[in-house]
Structure 1
């Protein structure tokens, strides 16, 4: 079950960059979501510009595989936001839109999950972190369907089960573990500040839904899985396309030279 987890009790190296990415994103999330709770559309657009600047700056220090993963994550998550929020009404932002800072924000969230997943701390204590996450999210999910909270959370319990599948069957459990922390952080802050609100009844299966759902990290894990799975194929396609263009260029030059003669 844990064969994709790193070996325990190994002195994995620490990179300051990984912790810097995480600290920056956690801080930006807290500041931006609280600011947007009472801000204007113009402020959202300005925050979007800042978020894109931060994301592009962070990507300069990453390899092409991670950059492609971030591109896929941003594209897939943005489509998901428009479908789940604007079209389905599963949750709603204050202005009924997808704020300009959300797409680059998804990129920073994904990059943070990757950075924490490869950090020395997460690699060394992966099993203890997994135990903490499962117990915490599991308790939260049970509470949501216990009948005690005013707003039930059947969706959260279902998503928690999906999250467990990602965690123990997926090939990138460390990314999913890290995603739990950053996504839970942003969901709790965003909903508490009133930046967005989850519908009490989920629109597809008509199940009760918390604000936020307890297992909401599973949705972000889907983004992570798509990014990790799609990036190699896209890079391979780009590489083959580049090789095809390079192979065709000399032939074009030869034909042009023959015509000139």
Structure 2
């Protein structure tokens, strides 16, 4: 993955999210029920490939994103054990936490971040925000009416309401939402994991689809956690960056 300077959508997409989506499609297929039924359990291979891809990505990204990706892995490990094994929010095929999953979360984080930093996105932010928001509304509404996905719909609405007051972060989180939609549809279609028919398999008043449409709401904690740890380790640099941002904003208003 790399920051694209192109001002055209498809090159910007292919060099960032396109690569990420290809990783997801192939990697999860290797761990799918289809492969297990027709060949053998190859989760070990999916883990090995992820280690290689993750290592290459760490080597290619800049120092700041590299550090944040490490935080993402650590946060993802804690989150996976808490939400999946601890709370039973969703279940993996072998009822474990596959080793490739935490590293996969970090790759999603990096892919989304690089896409939002492309010249195309920076030049078309408002347009993309409207398009992505419309897609999210249509997607979550479809799941609500045709799959009785109340849980996912509530999470999607909460996400959009929060983002109304977060203009600076909005593009990143809208993109993250759609990236997670792709990830969840591929993963559940391959039966790498599944979601119960109600939220946490316990809240009957919140029926859920497999996957819930707005589940990316919980992925936002990953980004917030990465930023929190990064700011704690680089307080001076972070403060300097905020001051520069304020100066630029004041200059623009003037």
> What TM-score comes out, normalization by structure 2 length?
0.78
The residue that corresponds to 1:155 in the other structure is: 151
Matches within 5 A, 1:1-261: 13-14=5-6, 19-38=14-33, 39=35, 43-146=42-145, 148-149=146-147, 152-170=148-166, 171-203=168-200, 205-206=203-204, 207-236=206-235
> Structure 1 pair 145/65, CA: closer, same or farther in 2 (3 Å)?
same
Q: When the two structures are aligned, how many residues end up with a matched partner? A: 223
SS at match of 2:151: helix
Deviation at 1:236, TM superposition (A): 4.5
SS at match of 1:214: coil
Q: Deviations over 1:96-130 (max 9, x none)?
A: 01112111111111110111110122222222221
Following superposition, the deviation at residue 18 of structure 1 comes to: 7.8
1:94: how far off?
Answer: 0.8
- Structure 2: give runs of 5+ residues left out of the alignment: 237-254
Report deviation, 1:93.
0.9
Aligned CA distance change for structure 1 residues 139 and 196 (closer, same or farther; 3 Å): same
Would the alpha carbon gap of residues 166 and 202 (structure 1) be closer, same or farther in structure 2, given more than 3 Å must change?
same
Quick check: 90-99 or 130-139, which moved more? 130-139
| Segment drifting more, 170-179 vs 127-136 | 170-179
| C-alpha distance after superposition, 1:159-206 (max 9, x if no partner) | 112321453333422221221232111111111121111111112644
Partners of 2:133 and 2:174 within 8 A in 1: no
Q: 1:91 to 1:225 in 2, by over 3 A?
A: same
218-227 or 192-201: which moved more?
218-227
Judge conservation of contact 2:90–2:196 (CA < 8 Å) in 1.
yes
Who is 2:250 aligned against? none
Cα contact 1:19–1:119 (8 A) shared by 2: no
Paired position in structure 1 for 2:245: none
| 1:243 corresponds to | none
SS in 2 for 1:194: coil
Change (3 A) 1:154 1:168: same
Alignment gaps of 5+ in structure 1: 1-11, 238-261
Residue deviations 1:217-237, cap 9 Å, x none? 222222122212331213449
Contact 1:191 1:211 in 2 (8 A): yes
In our comparison, the structure showing a higher alpha carbon Rg is 1
